[in-house]
Each structure stands twice: as structure tokens, then as C-alpha cells.
Amino acid sequence: MKIIPSATIALVVGAIGLGALSADGAQAKPAQEYIVRADLRLCPSPLCGGYWIALANKARTKCPDRKYRPRCYVASAWPASRTIHDGALVQGGIAAGDEPGFEHLGMLIATDVRNPVGTVASGSFHRLRDIGVRCAGEPCFSIRASRPNTTSSMLVSGVDLKRAELAEEQEMRATLALVGDGLFAAGRTVSGAEGGRVFHASRIYLRGRQPPG
């Protein structure tokens, strides 16, 4: 399965139950989403060895020193039990650091972590979510594609995962996320057959199993 049209989504919804879906009504302003990269510089911690973070879909990010830069350095992330891979998409915010004397370096508060799966990310970052619309024919614009950290969104008729080069198990997890609380992906939208509009994903972001505590 490479393209996920609305017909396939309907089958998945039927298998897991409608309880996995929630209304696509008005929502509170979402938390900020950051792209997180490991800091590979070789200097003493905590000045090095933390993370470089940047707001997804934004040119500049407000750093711990209140200045706006293309990316910000933070010395640590909380909670430490969360596994953050290089290039992860992390929901959360920035707080004062927990290293005595280095509080100004900042700390990433990670409320949700989705680690990267697939090829190199290209395009902009989106949250893709089935809105429950079912049509008699195709194309069916049943997937909302919204851009984190912005108010931009649009409806698409399918999601193409071919460019992400996923394994079968990863494709199934992507489909389950799509009909659940949303699949996060990097990519772009292109015109499809018969007037459709398809989101082509270059990389997706999936939650990993986290240790307790």
C-alpha cells in the first residue's frame, strides 16, 4: 500500500471502531512543534551535547535568551525517559535549564515525541488526519492536512507514502495514526487523478514505545 485513499481509511476505521475518531470541530491552539537535531559538537557539557531545536514551518525560533534565531541550543530535554532521535518532531516548549549555573542554556520540555521514519525530509511539515467523511466515489476529500505552528490547512483526497520508502509495518502504523490523532509527515501536496489532491510524504514521524516513569 503506497497511496492511502478514503476507501482504505474506511476499512481501517471499521476494523478498529469509530471510537478511535474524534470530532473535527474547533480546537484549542495546538502546542508548538519543534524539529530536534542532536548537537554533535565536541566541547564540555552542558555547553555542547544537547539539542538544536527549530520550530517546524517557521524561519526563526525564540531562544532561551529571548532572541529569535534559525535554531536554538538547549542543554537537555525533560523527561529524560523519552527517546528523542536525531530529526525527531517534538511537541512542547522551552524552559530554564536544570544545570546549576547554566540555566540560561534552556531545556526542552517534551510533551510528545514522534521519531522520524523514512527518507530525508523535504517539503513542509503537516499533520494529516481523517475527518470521517465518506463518499460514494473518488476523489473524496476526507483528510485534513494542517501545518503545525500555523493556521494553514486544506483537504486532500489521499496520502502517498511511496517516497518515504516505508516497511509494511510502518505503513500500517501510519494508517492507524491517520485515523487516530493524526499522522505527522514532511512533504508536499500535488494534483491527483480526476481532480483529486494527494499529499506526497517524504518522511513520516511516529511515536515510539516509551519506558515507564
Half-sphere exposure of 22 (CA within 13 A, CB side): 7
Residue 211 covered by a domain: no
Q: Which one of 113, 132, 147 terminates a domain?
A: 113
Residues 138 and 75 in one domain: no
Residues 23 and 123 in one domain: yes
Q: Is the pLDDT of residue 107 over 90?
A: yes
- How far is it, in rounded angstroms, from Cα 54 to Cα 74? 11
Range of the domain at 191: 3-28+119-206
Residues 190 and 124 in one domain: yes
Read off the pLDDT of each residue in 85-104 and give the average, rounded to a whole number: 87
Q: Which one of 80, 113, 146 terminates a domain?
A: 113
Residue 212 covered by a domain: no
Residues contacting residue 15 through CB under 8 Å, at least 6 positions apart? none
Residues 175 and 163 in one domain: yes
Contact 53, 27 (CB under 8 A): no
Residues 202 and 124 in one domain: yes
Read off the pLDDT of each residue in 190-207 and give the average, rounded to a whole number: 93
Q: Is the pLDDT of residue 109 over 70?
A: yes
Residues 7 and 82 in one domain: no
**What pLDDT digit, counting tens, does each position of 112-121 carry?**
999 999 999 9
Instruction: DSSP for 68-79, please give it.
Output: EESSEEESEEES
Read off the pLDDT of each residue in 89-108 and give the average, rounded to a whole number: 86
Residue 171 covered by a domain: yes
Which residues on adjacent β-strands are paired with residue 38? Answer: 51
Residues 76 and 178 in one domain: no
Check residue 208 and give its pLDDT.
Answer: 78
Calculate the alpha carbon distances from 115 to 36, 91, 95 in Å.
10, 11, 22
How many domains does the structure of the chain reveal? 2
Q: Is the pLDDT of residue 48 over 60?
A: yes
Residues 79 and 151 in one domain: no
Please state whether beta strands 61-62 and 107-118 pair in parallel, antiparallel, or not at all (unpaired).
unpaired
Least confident window among 18-22, 84-88, 140-144, 190-194: 18-22
Q: Is the pLDDT of residue 25 over 50?
A: no
Three-state DSSP class for 127? strand
Residues 106 and 41 in one domain: yes
Residues 23 and 124 in one domain: yes
Check residue 180 and give its pLDDT.
Answer: 95
- How far is it, in rounded angstroms, from Cα 40 to Cα 21? 40
Read off the pLDDT of each residue in 39-68 and give the average, rounded to a whole number: 94
Check residue 176 and give its pLDDT.
Answer: 96
Calculate the alpha carbon distances from 124 to 36, 118, 184 in Å.
15, 15, 11
Mean pLDDT for all residues in the chain: 85
Share above pLDDT 90 across residues of the chain, in percent, rounded to a whole number: 69
**What pLDDT digit, counting tens, does each position of 143-189 carry?**
999 999 999 999 999 999 999 999 999 999 999 999 999 999 999 99
Read off the pLDDT of each residue in 120-133 and give the average, rounded to a whole number: 96
Q: Is the pLDDT of residue 11 over 80?
A: no
Q: Is the pLDDT of residue 19 over 80?
A: no
Check residue 96 and give its pLDDT.
Answer: 83
Calculate the alpha carbon distances from 102 to 32, 94, 132, 183 in Å.
24, 14, 48, 36
Residues 24 and 123 in one domain: yes
Q: What is the pTM of this model?
A: 0.81
Of the pLDDT bands very low, low, confident and very high (cuts 50, 70, 90), residue 102 is confident
Please state whether beta strands 183-191 and 124-130 pair in parallel, antiparallel, or not at all (unpaired).
antiparallel
